[in-house]
């Protein structure tokens, strides 16, 4: 390929997409107390869940350092343009660190072409954008045209979340303990969404698991149509069997052209807990 696509560990990119488009992933750092890990390098997702269940405090994630991005850029041939698709800057300093690294390398090699885009999303939303970029590069799209196209796609992305439990939101200080206790007592499930700026907001509060899941699926039709021309992306923090069954349910109702399925990484799984889903697709 004549254009290098890069992303960070917040994308939870499926392996087949990574391999097909030769995507470089700069991993996130995960902290359990004083212990530090690099996600996907010395901490797999099953070990992450096990440690999270065993510990009272939630883990913390931190962005890759500017130097980590610098090293990743440096490994790419200087003649090859780089598109770096970053986790929402509202969720992490990843975007800023990727920009700092760009400035560092341009001081040494000013003729390089590096563009860092704030995807304003995470997990399945980022994977959707990386997949889109890979397809465009494979079709021979020029670098400037690719940047313009992905910026337009970022403005059209819908990222929707469903949480089966609010326990981790309470533990992590993202939800008031009193309100969280009420939600747990009344079996209220939170439907959340990514805002246009890339923040995560509560969209609806639904009582009961089945009703919440129905509404979660109904939201697809509220936001898009022409499914035959679009890709649907789903990340999960449940068993692969449950996730695959849920994806089949989606495909039976909405005939998307392509679907992506991935296991949710530590960044979102910390707050989603187990049995959460995040889906993404492009709006009309």
Residue 266: C-alpha distances to residues 25, 57, 67, 137, 163 (Å): 15, 14, 22, 29, 15
In a shared domain, residues 89 and 110:
yes
The confidence score (pLDDT) of residue 1 equals 60
The average pLDDT across 54-76 equals: 90
Q: For residue 188, give the CATH number of its domain.
A: 3.30.1180.10
User: How many other CB atoms sit within 10 Å of the CB of residue 48?
Assistant: 20
Domains in the chain, number? 2
In a shared domain, residues 9 and 114:
yes
How far apart (Å, rounded) are the C-alpha atoms in residues 252 and 248?
6
Q: Which of 114, 132, 155 is the last residue of a domain?
A: 155
- With a CB cutoff of 8 Å and minimum separation 6, the contacts of 12 are 123, 124, 126, 127, 235, 262, 263, 264, 265, 268
Long-range contacts of 38-41 (CB under 8 A, 24+ apart): 39/9, 39/265, 39/266, 39/267, 40/9, 40/265
In a shared domain, residues 181 and 103:
no
Q: Which of 155, 172, 203 is the last residue of a domain?
A: 155
Q: For residue 76, give the CATH number of its domain.
A: 3.40.50.10440
Give the pLDDT confidence of 118-154 residue by residue, as tens digits: 999 999 999 999 999 999 999 999 999 999 999 999 9
How far apart (Å, rounded) are the C-alpha atoms in residues 41 and 29?
10
Q: Which two tokens stand for residue 40?
A: 């996907």
In a shared domain, residues 136 and 188:
no
In a shared domain, residues 120 and 167:
no
Q: What is the mean pLDDT of the chain?
A: 88
Q: Which of 155, 178, 209 is the last residue of a domain?
A: 155
Sign of CA dihedral 75, 16, 279, 37: negative
* Position 182 in a domain: yes
* Position 183 in a domain: yes
In a shared domain, residues 122 and 162:
no
* Position 33 in a domain: no
Cβ(47)–Cβ(39) below 8 Å: no
In a shared domain, residues 210 and 225:
yes
Give the pLDDT confidence of 33-48 residue by residue, as tens digits: 888 888 777 877 778 8
Cβ(262)–Cβ(127) below 8 Å: yes
In a shared domain, residues 75 and 123:
yes
In a shared domain, residues 132 and 177:
no
Give the pLDDT confidence of 189-219 residue by residue, as tens digits: 778 898 899 988 888 888 888 898 999 999 9
Listing DSSP states for 235-260 in one string gives EESS-HHHHHHHHHHHHHHS--SEEE
Q: Give the pLDDT band (50/70/90) at residue 181.
A: very low
User: How many other CB atoms sit within 10 Å of the CB of residue 218?
Assistant: 10
**Confidence (pTM):** 0.91
């Amino acid at each position: 390929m004549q254009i290098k696509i890069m992303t960070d560990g917040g994308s939870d990119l499926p392996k087949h997409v990574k391999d097909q488009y030769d995507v470089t992933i700069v991993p996130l750092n995960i902290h359990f107390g004083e212990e530090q890990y690099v996600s996907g390098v010395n901490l797999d997702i099953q070990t992450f869940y096990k440690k999270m269940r065993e510990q009272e405090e939630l883990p913390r994630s931190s962005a890759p350092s500017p130097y980590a991005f610098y090293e990743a850029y440096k490994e790419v041939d200087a003649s090859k343009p780089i598109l770096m698709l970053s986790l929402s800057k509202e969720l992490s300093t990843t975007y800023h660190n990727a920009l700092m690294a760009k400035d560092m390398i341009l001081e040494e090699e000013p003729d390089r072409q590096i563009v860092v885009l704030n995807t304003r999303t995470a997990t399945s939303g980022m994977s959707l954008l990386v997949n889109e970029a890979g397809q465009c590069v494979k079709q021979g799209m020029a670098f400037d045209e690719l940047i313009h196209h992905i910026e337009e796609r970022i403005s059209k992305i819908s990222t929707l979340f469903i949480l089966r439990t609010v326990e981790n939101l309470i533990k992590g200080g993202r939800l008031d303990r009193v309100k969280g206790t009420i939600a747990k007592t009344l079996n209220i499930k939170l439907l959340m969404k990514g805002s246009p700026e890339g923040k995560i907001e509560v969209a609806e509060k639904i009582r009961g698991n089945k009703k919440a899941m129905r509404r979660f699926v109904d939201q697809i039709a509220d936001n898009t149509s022409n499914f035959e021309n679009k890709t649907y992306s789903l990340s999960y923090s449940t068993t692969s069997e449950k996730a695959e069954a849920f994806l089949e349910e989606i495909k039976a109702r909405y005939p998307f052209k392509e679907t992506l399925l991935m296991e949710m990484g530590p960044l979102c799984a910390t707050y989603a807990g187990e049995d959460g889903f995040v889906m993404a697709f492009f709006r009309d």
